[in-house]
Amino acid sequence: MRLILHGRTVVPGVAEGEALVSHQTISGWGGIDPATGTIIERRHELCGQSFAGKILVFPGAKGSSGWSGFFQATRLMGTAPLGMLYTVTTTKVALGAVVTRVPTVTDLDRDPVKVINTGDWVRIDADHGIVEVVPAGAE
């Protein structure tokens, strides 16, 4: 059973892949290792997991304005997420999405952190603001 979400485009494009969902905001500076795309913040629920090659679903950014620089570094190092869905827009996360250059959608009609699970297959069509979700294990 597919779930279709509609939202607002931040960065256009189309991407699809496995979701990595965080219920906590993500820190850029000191919170991720750009060389591997791994979350390294010790108290974070996803500590030790990499978002490289995944669709990153999260509430938003926390920390300094350096957030966008760290996410740009993941693009330059080939460890960026394939796409991003987030719920709370700040200048940090919006600029981070732009410099990371991956399809990104926000302001979805349902909270993606609540309706998408890690392992679900997600297709972002940010050109049209549409997100399709196929639950893990569904055909």
Active site residues: 64
Q: For residue 130, how many C-alpha atoms fall within 13 Å in the half-sphere facing its CB?
A: 7
Give how far Cα 134 sits from Cα of 40, 115, 116, Å.
28, 11, 9
Give the C-alpha separation, 30 to 40, whole Å.
7
Q: At 9, list the tokens.
A: 């485009």
